[in-house]
Amino acid sequence: MNRFDYIRPATVAEAVAAAAVPGSAYLAAGTNLLDLMKGGVMRPARLVDLARVPGLDAIEALPDGGLRIGARVRNADLAYDPGFARRFPAVAEALLSGASAQLRNAATVGGNLLQRTRCAYFYDPASACNKREPGAGCDAREGENRLHAVLGWSEQCIATHPSDFCVPLVALGAVVEIEGQAGRREVPLEEFHRLPGTTPERESVLAPGELVVAVRLPGEAAGFAGHARYVKLRERTSYAFAVVSAAACLRLEDGAIAEARLALGGVAAKPWRVPAAEAVLQGARPGAEAFRQAAEAALAEAQPSGENGFKIELARRILVRALTLAAAGTPERLPALPASPLASHSGVSLHG
């Protein structure tokens, strides 16, 4: 790990001023940042520690029935907050399907949005990576790339965004609150992450020194609570990133789908909302035929970026599974293996 200066600001304004110095990085829990620094992938000259900054760790109810979630709220605290889990069960399920219990106890909301890709070539300083070193090339293109992107990728970068949390969040229209030296602004989560294009090192719309202070879920998003699921296919049962994942949130009226909110994870450099698939389902009767049509629309633009063509059909099937489970209704209690396609949605144990 490189040497760095350590700064512990007492207010958001102090933090933003401190981080405006080039070479600075914010430290929340550090569960991703310290890992990257130990590997020499990130080498910030100063860390601006948010541990003592007040006003970042509350879950607040909003007048419209939505919630404002402070950027330093821990993943586990959010997932187990009864008011949150009741209103946004698919988001709670996604959170509990990510990482391990230890990491969820530490990792924060803001850090989850800003975590870096787990592309092995990005993590290996001996490999060429345009994201780590602009212009260096991309060893993933001809490398071990079966888990890489099938949507929105470029010749310069085929990495995916690894978050589970962001997938139902983007489906439900979450908004990111950002503080910078010029004041506060808001960006829909859908527009927060950038696709790689020719500048894969720029992963979000944050300007240098800007700080994510909160994520907001609008009250209308709670209208999907009765039919909301997240499904995540992993290469092992637990404690693994998604091969592909899907969030499906439905509002049913008189047996038909009044409105659908759908997003995919593990397929692109950002959580991938699929409005075309949502449109297919509007007014449709829930069922295998409509779900398959929606899945076809969701992946219509998908292209393999390497040995990963299988992910396209897998993503369709995981989306159909998520829709099928969502249509059956959100379970009273999350299954023992949250988001697992291997779990019974009723929460009954697989192994007796």
Q: Of 24 and 305, which has the nearer Cβ to another protein?
A: 24
What CA–CA distance (Å, rounded) separates 314 from 252?
Answer: 26
Nearer to another protein by Cβ, of 91 and 327: the residue is 91
Compute CA 261 distance to the chain's CA centroid, rounded to the nearest angstrom: 15
Cβ 180 to another protein shortest distance, Å: 23
- CA atoms in the 13 A half-sphere facing the CB of 307: 6
238 binds another protein (CB under 8 A): yes
Report helix, strand or coil for 216.
strand
Interface residue with another protein, options 80, 173, 187, 202 (CB under 8 A) = 80
Q: Which of 38, 86, 184, 285 is the binder for another protein (CB under 8 A)?
A: 38
CA 221 → CA 4, 64, 166, 250, 260, distances in Å? Answer: 42, 10, 14, 10, 11
Q: What are phi and psi of 319, to 5 degrees?
A: -65, -45
Binding residues among 286-325 for another protein as defined by CB under 8 A: none
Q: Does 1 bind another protein (CB under 8 A)?
A: yes
Q: Is 47 in the site for another protein (CB under 8 A)?
A: yes
Report the C-alpha gap between 159 and 141 in whole angstroms: 10
Residues in region 96-135 near another protein by CB under 8 A: 99-103, 105-106
Using rule CB under 8 A, residue 25 touches another protein: no
Quick one: 217 or 337, whose CB is closer to another protein? 337
Give the binding-site size for another protein (rule: CB under 8 A): 34
Segment interacting with another protein, rule: CB under 8 A, options 189-197, 215-223, 269-277, 333-341 = 333-341
Nearer to another protein, 58 or 101 (CB): 101
Member of 13, 136, 256, 336 binding another protein (CB under 8 A): 336
The shares of helix, strand and coil residues in the chain, as percent rounded to the nearest 5, are: 30, 20, 50
Which residue among 17, 21, 34, 41 contacts another protein (CB under 8 A)?
A: 34
Contact map string, positions 130 to 159, toward another protein, x by CB under 8 A: ------------------------------
Q: Where are the beta strands (DSSP E) in the chain?
A: 5-7, 24-27, 46-49, 59-61, 67-70, 175-180, 183-188, 211-217, 228-233, 244-253, 256-265, 272-273
Instruction: Compute the distance between CA of residue 191 and CA of residue 50 in angstroms, rounded to an integer.
Output: 25
Other CB atoms within 10 Å distance of the CB of residue 209: 19
Distance CA 189, CA 172 (A): 10
Assess 10 for contact with another protein (CB under 8 A).
Answer: no
Decide whether 6 or 63 has the Cβ nearer to another protein: 6
The residues binding another protein (CB under 8 A) are 1, 3-6, 27, 29-31, 34-35, 38-39, 47, 49, 51, 76, 80, 99-103, 105-106, 237-239, 336-338, 349-351
